[in-house]
Amino acid sequence: MSTKRIRMTDTITAASIAHRFYVQGRSKLEIAEEFGISRFKAARILAAAQETGLIRIEFDLPVPVDLPMSDEVRAAYGLRRVLVLNRAESKADRPELRRRIGSLAAQLLTELATTDDVIGLAWARSVNAMAEAVDSLPKCPIVQLCGVQAGMDMRDRSVETVGRVAAVGGGDPYPIYGPLVLPDRRTTDILRKQPGIAETFDQFQHLTKAVVSIGAWRPGESTVYDALTPSERDSIGRRGATAEIAARLFDENGNALSTGLAHHVLAITHEQLRQVPEVIALGYTEPKAEAIDAVLRSGIVTTLITDAVAAERILELAAERPPE
Q: How far apart are CA 248 and CA 245, in angstroms?
A: 5
Beta bridge partners of 174: 143
**CB count, 10 Å around CB of 188?**
21
Confidence class of residue 10 from pLDDT cuts 50, 70 and 90?
confident
- pLDDT exceeds cutoff 90 at 165: yes
Range from 46-55, 87-96, 212-221, 305-314 carrying the lowest mean pLDDT: 46-55
Per-residue pLDDT at 184:
84
Mean pLDDT of 134-160: 77
To 5 degrees, how large is the angle CA 221–CA 101–CA 125?
Answer: 40
Per-residue pLDDT at 11:
84
Per-residue pLDDT at 6:
60
Per-residue pLDDT at 310:
97
Q: Are 239 and 259 in contact (CB under 8 A)?
A: yes
Per-residue pLDDT at 280:
98
**pLDDT (tens digit, 9 = 90+) per residue, 172-230?**
999 998 888 888 888 888 888 999 899 999 999 999 999 999 999 998 888 788 888 88
Mean pLDDT of 274-282: 97
Per-residue pLDDT at 149:
66
249-279: string of b/e by CB count within 10 Å (b at 16+)?
Answer: bbbbebebbeeebbebbbbbbbebbeebebb
Per-residue pLDDT at 113:
96
**Domains of the chain, start order:** 8-52 (1.10.10.10), 67-320 (3.40.50.1360)
Q: In whole numbers, what is the pLDDT of the chain averaged over residues?
A: 89
- pLDDT exceeds cutoff 70 at 152: no
Mean pLDDT of 85-108: 93
